[in-house]
DNA sequence: TGCAGTGTTGCTTC
DNA sequence: CGAAGCAACACTGC
């Protein structure tokens, strides 16, 4: 489940691998993941040069320069999507690689839904087992801005202050977990990091957002930044589908504290056991002894 | 063996 | 208007 740290890792990888490359061809055996007529998409994209790769919330944005001005690929990975940069000599048939070597022997990398063939002998492959992810073509910077404006602040940027977090929580009686996962409130936090952040902050996931004390809010603010930063340093979490641009796993799953650790002893050695409940229909893991309502 | 669980987002329904 | 539920999808595990 690519959340902020995972999408940011892919962004950083791609900035090293594909800037300045020209797109020679686009192929897909699952054209539905491209949210427009495939032939038209192909016509718009082939021949353009990749000038930048950005991230906003859980969206990856590939900027395409052209004589007529910038266009953008807006990519959302949803549950199982990721991009792999790999040699163009590899072929795809029925969504699977014909030759599977190295990182491609990892089953999570084989569900190829679209390929962008580059002018340096490589290709960008969009692998997505569950096909929730999508690629959209954005015509210009105004259209892009209109889409990206709908997301809340980026939690790792300076503009995200404890005062802003306070405002976000104000008057919301929904469980705090739901509130921090809502992309309109804060951008980039999904189920894994919501659980990890709330454990770190010692706040019960069901605690109503408007009932957090000033101290709770300060601690939560710190935990949001620290956990996301730590996850980024560890190149994300790969407990299930996520892989980086080389098809490799992230390390954060190995150091996570509570996510999918139901029944295990609390890492704080408080004597409690990690419990699993449902919050807003999502599996939620927490220590009932450390995290108070 | 069939069905619940897995998770994000956005749309529908109340 | 906000909250809750569900669809989209494919595969795993009990």
Is the pLDDT reported for residue A68 higher than 90?
no
- CB distance under 7 Å to strand C: residues: A 32, 78-79, 107, 111, 129-132, 172-174, 280-281
- CA dist A92 to A9, A47, A132, Å? 25, 22, 20
pTM over 0.75: yes
Q: How far is the CA of A241 from the C1' of C14 (A)?
A: 21
A58 in active site: yes
pLDDT digits (tens, 9 = 90+) for A92-128: 888 888 877 777 777 778 889 999 999 999 999 999 9
Work out whether strand A282-286 and strand A59-65 pair parallel, antiparallel, or are unpaired: unpaired
Band of residue A247 on the pLDDT scale cut at 50, 70, 90: confident
- Region of A14 (left: φ > 0; alpha: ψ -120 to 50; beta: rest) is alpha
Say what the pLDDT of residue A69 is.
Answer: 67
Q: How far is the CA of A174 from the C1' of C3 (A)?
A: 9
- CB distance under 7 Å to strand B: residues: A 1, 3, 57-58, 76, 78-79, 130, 132, 181, 183, 190-192, 259-260, 276, 281-283
In this prediction, residues A125-152 reach a mean pLDDT of 89
CA–CA separation, A193 and A182 (whole Å): 13
Say what the pLDDT of residue A66 is.
Answer: 65
| Mean pLDDT taken over chain A | 89
In this prediction, residues A219-230 reach a mean pLDDT of 95
Q: How far is the CA of A86 from the C1' of B12 (A)?
A: 41
Question: Which residues, including other chains, have CB under 8 Å from residue A141's CB and lie 6 or more apart?
Answer: A70, A72
Q: How far is the CA of A249 from the C1' of B7 (A)?
A: 19
Question: Which residues, including other chains, have CB under 8 Å from residue A120's CB and lie 6 or more apart?
Answer: A21
Query: How distant is the alpha carbon of residue A72 from its chain centre?
Result: 18
Give which of A57, A79, A60, A65 is closest to A21, Cα–Cα: A65
Smallest CA–C1' separation from A80, nucleotide? B7
Band of residue A236 on the pLDDT scale cut at 50, 70, 90: confident
């Amino acid at each position: 489940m690519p959340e902020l740290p995972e999408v940011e890792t892919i962004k950083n990888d791609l900035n090293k691998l594909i800037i300045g490359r020209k797109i020679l061809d686009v192929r897909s055996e699952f054209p539905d993941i491209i949210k427009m007529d495939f032939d038209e998409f192909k016509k718009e994209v082939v021949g353009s040069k990749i000038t930048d790769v950005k991230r906003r919330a859980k969206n990856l944005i590939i900027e395409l320069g052209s004589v007529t001005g910038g266009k953008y690929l807006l990519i959302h990975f949803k549950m199982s999507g990721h991009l792999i940069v790999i040699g163009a000599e590899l072929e795809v048939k029925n969504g699977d690689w014909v030759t599977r070597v190295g990182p491609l022997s990892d089953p999570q990398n084989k569900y190829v839904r679209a390929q962008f063939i580059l002018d340096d002998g490589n290709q960008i492959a969009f692998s997505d087992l569950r096909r929730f992810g999508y690629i959209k073509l954005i015509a210009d910077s105004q259209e892009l801005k209109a889409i990206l404006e709908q997301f809340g602040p980026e939690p790792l940027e300076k503009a995200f202050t404890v005062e802003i977090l306070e405002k976000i929580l104000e008057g919301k009686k929904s469980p705090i977990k739901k509130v921090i996962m809502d992309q309109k409130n804060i951008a980039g936090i999904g189920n894994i990091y919501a659980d990890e952040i709330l454990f770190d902050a010692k706040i019960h996931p069901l605690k109503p957002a408007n009932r957090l004390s000033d101290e709770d809010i300060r601690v939560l603010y710190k935990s949001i930044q620290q956990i996301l930063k730590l996850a980024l340093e560890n190149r994300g979490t790969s407990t299930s589908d996520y892989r980086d641009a080389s098809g490799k796993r992230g390390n954060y799953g190995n150091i996570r504290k509570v996510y999918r650790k139901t029944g295990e002893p609390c890492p704080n050695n408080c004597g409690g056991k990690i419990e699993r409940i449902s919050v807003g229909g999502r599996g939620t893991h927490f220590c009932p002894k450390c995290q108070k309502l």
